[in-house]
Amino acid sequence: MRVLVTGGAGFIGSHVVDALRARGHEALVYDVRQDPAADVRDPVAVARALAGVDAVCHQAAMVGLGDGVTDAAEYVSRNDLGTAVLLAAMAGSGVGRLVLAGSMVVYGEGRYECREHGVVRPRPRAVADLDAGRFEPPCPACGRALAPGLVAEDAPADPRNVYATTKLAQEHLAAAWARSTGGTAVSLRYHNVYGPRMPRDTPYAGVASFFRSALARGEAPRVFEDGRQRRDFVHVRDVAAANLAALDADTPKGALTAYNTGSGEPHTVGEMARTLAAAYGGPRPVVTGEYRLGDVRHITADSARLRAELGWKPQVGFQEGMREFARAGLRGE
């Protein structure tokens, strides 16, 4: 199979390229890191890159929480306009298979259950509560404490920052393309991906990169809130394998199918920081009580659909992955 990988020189994209080539596929890298002319928003360049292509793995995106809404136009341009240009070019060239780098951020907060009111959707956390160190979202009906659980693909979308909004828009665009062309579209809703080649400490890097960058400087990782927020940390090679499984899958034509892509093993951010610091041999993390307003408290995946329908399962365990990540270099080092 001849596969165009947008963002193929980036963190996740480069691992997707490696996995494709190891499986005997022809992987074509389309990335401004390698060629400034390879902008996914350029319809002429994209159409040229699609010549002879069987499928597209669309990894190119501006990622991370960013800086509130000050960079909203850049997010929309890179993520949504770029996806629209790519899909229009695919429709024109007859490429009928798409695997999209989706994200768990489309859910907003994860799944919560109240003893009295059952499954509920908490409201966005208030600044006054965060300033006071009240990080857990209460039940919107009675104000009592909630129990977090695993979120499934049928949970309602509730994006709570600019990046999350653009990732949901990408899915809607891909669904519209699939309906219009009869193409096959899969969105892999990545959870917290980590591993070799992560970008260095930037406003757009993931929390694992922040911690690893601090350790490389000889500094203690700074853990926001109280460190008890839950995430699903999934290794980048497992995510690359999920992309291959999605390319090979017999998914419905004319529709978008979404799959949570996580390890299925929730860990707290504080636990991840302590595990990484111990593996690196650096200073213990410091819990700061700071927060970012666009962050959610708990978001962890139920990846049962991906396992059942695509035959995928993660191969890299949490402890093993953190030991490797502690030794791995970051992009820019």
pLDDT tens for each residue of 132-155: 999 999 999 999 999 999 999 999
In the numeric block, which tokens belong to residue 26? 């022809």
Across residues 195-202, what is the average pLDDT?
A: 87
The predicted pLDDT at position 63 comes to 87
Q: Which CATH superfamily is domain 2-110+151-327 in?
A: NAD(P)-binding Rossmann-like Domain (3.40.50.720)
Q: Provide the β-strand partners of residue 330.
A: none
For residue 172, give every residue at least 6 positions away whose Cβ sits within 8 Å of its Cβ, in sequence order, or none: none
Across residues 119-128, what is the average pLDDT?
A: 94
**Count of CA atoms in the C-beta half-sphere (13 A) of 160:** 22
Q: In this model, does residue 333 exceed pLDDT 60?
A: no
Q: Where are the domains of the chain?
A: 2-110+151-327
Output the CA torsion 233→237→240→244 (10° steps): -120
Across residues 253-280, what is the average pLDDT?
A: 97
The predicted pLDDT at position 272 comes to 97
What percent of the chain is helix, strand and coil (3-state, nearest 5)? 35, 20, 45
Label residue 204 by pLDDT band (50, 70, 90).
low
Catalytic pick among 163, 259, 280, 291: 163
Q: Rounded to an integer, what distance in angstroms lies between the CA atom of residue 221 and that of residue 21?
A: 36
pLDDT digits (tens, 9 = 90+) for 73-109: 999 999 999 999 999 999 999 999 999 999 999 999 9
Amino acid (1-letter code) at residue 277: A
Alpha helices by DSSP H, 76-126: 82-93
Q: In this model, does residue 67 exceed pLDDT 80?
A: no
Q: Provide the β-strand partners of residue 74.
A: none
Rg of the chain over all Cα atoms, to the nearest angstrom = 20
Q: How many residues belong to the chain?
A: 333
Label residue 300 by pLDDT band (50, 70, 90).
very high
Mean pLDDT in the chain? 95
Q: Rounded to an integer, what distance in angstroms lies between the CA atom of residue 84 and that of residue 176?
A: 10
Across residues 243-264, what is the average pLDDT?
A: 96
The predicted pLDDT at position 330 comes to 86
Of residues 18 and 292, the one with the higher pLDDT is 18
For residue 272, give every residue at least 6 positions away whose Cβ sits within 8 Å of its Cβ, in sequence order, or none: 207, 208, 211, 231, 233, 322
The predicted pLDDT at position 108 comes to 93
The predicted pLDDT at position 203 comes to 63
In the numeric block, which tokens belong to residue 284? 């213990």
User: How many of the other CB atoms lie within 10 Å of CB of 229?
Assistant: 21
Quick check: is 163 catalytic?
yes
- CA dihedral for 36, 37, 39, 40, sign (positive or negative): negative
* pLDDT > 90: percent of the chain: 91
pLDDT digits (tens, 9 = 90+) for 19-42: 999 999 999 999 999 999 999 999
Label residue 329 by pLDDT band (50, 70, 90).
confident
- The secondary structure element, H or E, covering residue 12 is helix 11-22
